[in-house]
Structure 1
């Protein structure tokens, strides 16, 4: 039995809680460190002033669109590589891993080029003021270049996780975040022969950090662990070895890309309240990433558990694991809400120079985090559908979540009660969608049971 097969078998037997804990802890540690360093990045930019902070806040929906493509390709990569490793076919897995890495760079490169030549019209569409556009252009020109290097560690880490290693991806994520944060003040404010680059310096720090991460992951996969080929694929090989990955990855990427699209719409709405509101909105969403760290970690470790147990027809374990994680997330995020509310004054003072921005940050933290637990229900249900090989169901769930609930309800709230109404609208949207997601998962798992029962009756 191969090491991968042994790892897979461990997911279909034993205590569910212990198994998920063992899988998730390394991811939590890595993501906490990475996102904490991301928050430090925002802090250094905030020292430049409200305009620079507002400018970088405008970039979040766009940068997350590129990142979402990598996330989707990573989901497809993990599913394909994990299945091949479980079959004991490491040679085909090496070809698929190489195809995944090359495909990610090619697709992200195309998206980055389009983004680079459309910076001004895209951000004008997002209601960025003419005063902010030069700052946005300075930052995004370098960031688009750096996105090519981000693709490699993101997809490469999916290869490692598919092979049973959750520790190394955590180390790579944390190291990249640390390097980025360490270089930020150097390039933003200048030191010695290095000139002060302002907001562009933050993007340069990101470029260097991701370049190091890309080099590291290629060395690990191609040389040290022999998990990918030490050469490029020809066109025929590339098409053959990327087909399955894109079949799963594209719907997953599409689902992820809908989030920044909806975020861009809401940023445009928030922008009607001024640069101070956009700055507060940006800080709030950076904090949301930190507050949702457990949710995001479970969204990467719950899927392999579910896919293994669905494959073994152990649907009770699937349902138990799903409900166990939801109960935990609801309680944990309630604690996070209380913590953010209690610390809202201190957080606002750290990230805002102007009293109006600080006041809006406190308002955001007093309302929006109430819905984080319900948002966790939606995210974990979505990732569970991908694990059950139902990427189109996950895509439909995302469409409903964002464009039937989130955007319309939040916008309606803003029309009736202003910015505070918009914040409450996000909470109401998460509540309604959380109930829909839970019902949908219950229906799907029961359908799996019925299909399995019918198939065994005919045997």
Structure 2
């Protein structure tokens, strides 16, 4: 079976050139996808500090659902890319179909639990009675539409596994642009459309997700024929789901630890008042925007690693990992300088009170110092999943967040207030980055020793006659 052009590029073309060609479209797509949060935060900030504080409380909960989706997407990409690298397109199609249905079922169930238990969860995070109505206005609609988010994200993972990063970027960009247009209309009202406030922000996101849902299904089933409308059988669905969950659940667990840790930090920040939560929440959303390069690489690198892993090309795996680390460190250093230069504009855009502006300034001066090494951790985590080592990736996430990040942040808060909390987070990321590099290189050496070597991949255009397990 001859390989597609994107697959040949992953296995044969120069590493740096190939990674860049996969990553730059993802950067554009991720930028617009992240704009969901940033645009929401900007327009909601115009409703006042209470509304901004309310949206700050929602982040750990919404990111929990999104983290499950990201984890399932990681499992989908790793399994399908490895099968494509081994030239097994039939099973890759089966896994793709199963991934969509499995993800919709799991996210639907998690959203139902969130809808039922939202009030006690937000109460435990420190949300008071004054903010609870605003939080629930946003979350009730968000939970009802969450399944519309999961299908585009998993579908994009299927496309990336085949080496196509441009189409997912276009779909993400369209969703982000639609959200940006709908936000002011639905939040503040326009003509016959009534002002819906927090509900309008959530509804804008759900409608944008719906557009992505339609586009990705059309592209996967009709345009590209990468998946079947249904898995071939229940037995195949169960078999494929087990493979996906073997990587997807630990990866989801690792991703879901982040909002859990952010929930703990939000509770600590809440002791400093609503203005502190508002400034911290705005900073967290800006952090996502500042991490575009990291997030794009964490999406484009795994298919490269998994396909070369499937083809037995471990030297290309090591080269891609080290190239990604260097790119992350350099790019995040430049982004830190840019954030400092734009600080007055950022404060003007997101802060309606002096105290919110002060907290936001503290966040931007300190936290982005650790974004480069934090990116190294994320890249290492993605690379471990791509090597089908999800438990090691999970352990790395646990170590980062609950051995270093949360304890050192809490200690810093106890010793130095909010500045101490932020400094503790930076120190924690630096320690974990050094640990993650040694961890991955050790795992890579072990794979080179133990992984059965595949027969060499034939040059493009030649037939590949390989023995499969």
- TM class, shorter-length: over 0.9
Higher alpha-carbon deviation: 440-449 or 337-346:
440-449
* Whole-angstrom distance in 2 between the partners of 1:372 and 1:20: 21
Q: Is the 8 A contact 1:99 1:233 kept in 2?
A: no
* Whole-angstrom distance in 2 between the partners of 1:257 and 1:152: 19
Tell me which residue corresponds to 1:368. Answer: 367
Distance 1:162 1:316, change over 3 A: closer
Tell me which residue corresponds to 1:354. Answer: 353
Higher alpha-carbon deviation: 170-179 or 297-306:
297-306
Distance 1:441 1:92, change over 3 A: closer
Tell me which residue corresponds to 1:10. Answer: 9
**Displacement of 1:344 after TM fit?**
1.3
Tell me which residue corresponds to 2:78. Answer: 79
**Displacement of 1:36 after TM fit?**
3.2
Instruction: Report the 3-state secondary structure (helix = DSSP H, G, I; strand = E; otherwise coil) of the residue aligned with 2:126.
Output: coil
* Whole-angstrom distance in 2 between the partners of 1:358 and 1:321: 40
Between 1 and 2, higher relative CO (CA 8 Å, sep ≥ 6) is seen in 2
Distance 1:382 1:189, change over 3 A: same
Tell me which residue corresponds to 1:28. Answer: 27
Deviations 1:367-423 (A, max 9, x none): 000000010110001111011111100000000000000000000000111111001
Tell me which residue corresponds to 1:439. Answer: 438
Deviations 1:252-310 (A, max 9, x none): 11111111111111111111111111111111011111111001111111112222333
The total of aligned residue pairs comes to: 455
Q: Is the 8 A contact 1:38 1:181 kept in 2?
A: no
Instruction: Output aligned runs, 1:277-316, within 5 Å.
Output: 277-316=276-315
* Whole-angstrom distance in 2 between the partners of 1:438 and 1:94: 34
Q: Is the 8 A contact 2:64 2:256 kept in 1?
A: yes
| TM-score when normalising by structure 2 | 0.93
Higher alpha-carbon deviation: 73-82 or 302-311:
302-311
* Whole-angstrom distance in 2 between the partners of 1:235 and 1:333: 46
**Displacement of 1:447 after TM fit?**
2.3
* Whole-angstrom distance in 2 between the partners of 1:328 and 1:390: 24
Deviations 1:124-181 (A, max 9, x none): 0000111000000010000001111001101011111122211110011110111111
Instruction: Report the 3-state secondary structure (helix = DSSP H, G, I; strand = E; otherwise coil) of the residue aligned with 2:129.
Output: coil
Instruction: Output aligned runs, 1:37-186, within 5 Å.
Output: 37-186=36-185
Q: CA RMSD in A?
A: 2.0
**Displacement of 1:363 after TM fit?**
1.0
* Whole-angstrom distance in 1 between the partners of 2:309 and 2:234: 35
* Whole-angstrom distance in 2 between the partners of 1:347 and 1:177: 20
Distance 1:34 1:281, change over 3 A: same
Unaligned runs of 5+ in 1: none
Q: Does 1:400 align with 2:426?
A: no
Q: Is the 8 A contact 1:109 1:148 kept in 2?
A: yes
* Whole-angstrom distance in 1 between the partners of 2:239 and 2:305: 27
Instruction: Report the 3-state secondary structure (helix = DSSP H, G, I; strand = E; otherwise coil) of the residue aligned with 2:190.
Output: coil
**Displacement of 1:454 after TM fit?**
11
Distance 1:377 1:40, change over 3 A: same
Q: Is the 8 A contact 1:71 1:256 kept in 2?
A: yes
Distance 1:232 1:385, change over 3 A: closer
Q: Does 1:329 align with 2:310?
A: no
* Whole-angstrom distance in 1 between the partners of 2:122 and 2:114: 10
Distance 1:179 1:454, change over 3 A: closer
Distance 1:40 1:82, change over 3 A: same
Tell me which residue corresponds to 1:193. Answer: 192
Distance 1:164 1:316, change over 3 A: closer
* Whole-angstrom distance in 1 between the partners of 2:241 and 2:318: 32
Q: Does 1:253 align with 2:252?
A: yes
Deviations 1:162-212 (A, max 9, x none): 222111100111101111110011110111221111111100111111111
| TM-score when normalising by structure 1 | 0.95
**Displacement of 1:42 after TM fit?**
1.1
Instruction: Output aligned runs, 1:260-275, within 5 Å.
Output: 260-275=259-274
Deviations 1:345-382 (A, max 9, x none): 22111101111101111111000000000101100011
Instruction: Report the 3-state secondary structure (helix = DSSP H, G, I; strand = E; otherwise coil) of the residue aligned with 1:327.
Output: helix
Instruction: Report the 3-state secondary structure (helix = DSSP H, G, I; strand = E; otherwise coil) of the residue aligned with 1:33.
Output: helix
Q: Is the 8 A contact 2:81 2:306 kept in 1?
A: no
Q: Is the 8 A contact 1:54 1:279 kept in 2?
A: yes
Q: Is the 8 A contact 1:406 1:425 kept in 2?
A: yes
